[in-house]
Structure 1
Amino acid sequence: MKLDGRDILKALSEPFEDHEIEWRAQTCNQYGNALMLPYIDARAAMERLDKVLGVNWKDQYREITMNGKQAFQCELSIKIADEWVTRTDGAETTDFESVKGGYSSAFKRACVKFGIGRYLYDLPQFWLKIEKSGSVYVSVKNGGEKITGFVNPPSVLEIVTGSKPKPQSQPKQPQSQQAQQPANQNQKASSDHEKAIKAVWGQIQDGNIASNLIPYFLERVGCNSSDLKDASMEQLERIYHAISPVNTYLNVCRGYNLSLEQVLYYSQIVCKTTIADIIALYFLMDYKRTEEAIELIKGDYSKSIAQ
């Protein structure tokens, strides 16, 4: 049975499951609370299009200029009743973000025009307490001070639908306590591993890192595979901490509106070597060097303001 246009738009606009929602810290207040923004990544949007439309969608891109800056425009088309309907949007990119990042942002904005994830813009503000432990890591600036920690976001699905997410089904009659305990432990280990993979993917997407670089990260931590699923918890943690400081550094650079030349300039000072491009940062920068580079930027910025 073919869906009509109204049915298709309704299906595309359905809220996402909580595990499909990502969170980003926008700012922090003096009380130690972070303003957290829920969003979906491009992969989740693609999966929604596949689920609803199968092969009946397509996307095209072209490079444009917005406000004098390089940008990308996405033409997203879906097939309704044998006719193609197209909606278009674009997104700017900075000097040091990859082309992939521009494509991804433009694609997600075009998806919103078909209702995918649009409801997220209507949610209330989420000011969440930054704590020592939690499900989502945050790194955000409060004035000139960087605050890091964890937050525990609420269930967006529960807020939108007014009902609690269905709990995972449990076995009706466990054979024995001894048999159930190892099974629960295995489930927890599997769940923790999936969360670790998701955290690494989040960092990869935040940094707009090309997927063909993943094998290099895996090789760097001693994993003889090209798939994150084959990495151990320890290896995933090491990859996360290789990517996270660079993403923090780039976010600060964006905040100060630095050019690519300036981004590389400050990183070369702390790394004490020549750096040709942004990708090299992921193999050279660590938390300590990131902090040093940020302090240099803040120092120079303060001087320029004073002058």
Structure 2
Amino acid sequence: MLKKDCTMEEVMEKLQAPFPSKDIEWRVSRSGISAKGPWAMVLAYVDSRAIQNRLDEVFGPAGWQNEFTDFRGGVLCTISCFIDGEWVSKTDGAEPTKFESFKGGLSGAIKRAGALWGIGRYLYNLTETYVEVSSSKQPGAIYINDEKSKVKGHWMPPKLPDWALPENERGKGNQSSRSTQNQNYGNSQPPKQQTGNEPSKQPKQNQTQPNKKQSDGFNRNKVLNDIDMFLKNTGLINKQEWIIPLFKRVNPNIQQNSLSEVGKQATEQELVLYYNVLKPVSDLTLLAKHFKVSLEDVLKRYVQILVPTVKVESLFSCFTYVTIDTVKEVSEMVKEDLQTGALQRIA
């Protein structure tokens, strides 16, 4: 429970701490069949009950509260915490899921609202990872039956890298509580471009720890070029004095003092963090160009709705708050409003 003399930095450290592997679950983001057989790309997420337990641990059962409201067919969740004598609230939302739509919507909303408090946010740095789907069931395997991709069978949850585990589980080869297969979480770097329906080869061993040799599947030059492109797309390249402070928000241990030093000295794990915080905001600019709509409309009509706790005045307001999922939701909203005439394309 929160101590009276606890600083805000200590509060955030407790909230942002990695969860035990038993609290991490996995879901399939997409699947397909290649020459080697059926496959799936999976993502890690934290269970909503684990989020509630974390809030209990940090603030005490009476030190936080949540509230759900309906919004545009989805669910908004507001998590309020009692800090320094006042209630502080953060809100985010989710759409109903295909299965258990109401319960799934509530669960998704509390996960996103929790991420605004830093709870489980580190999992956003774990991008999709490849798993093989087998007809045989092993202990701990998860079942998939995707009618669209025709993939049916069982897959084993990957292992998490050490940096995504609490200290008492690091270096022990721990996995998700439902996994017994010796399979590393090998795709924590930005995803590679793929052709057709087959995913890129699964990189060999995960090497996202500082001072480790670069992973076989990690293309440093490409990631640096992408980061440079994201900086240009977002206009951050013209605000050099803002770049290192932004990187420090996602990596408090940053040792570099300039962008050129980042390019030369940053570890693979650090570059992944910077890539993931820049890409969604850069994608907003590409989305506006693709649909030929005003970027101001994209930000103030759609991003503001999806990120209600932040005053979205420009792209710079979006860093660390906008995720890839946010961009996907904005894209759907823009398409819908263009079709109904609620939004007009620019000349």
TM-score under structure 1 normalisation?
A: 0.48
Please identify the structure whose Cα radius of gyration is greater. Answer: 1
Say which structure is richer in helix: 1
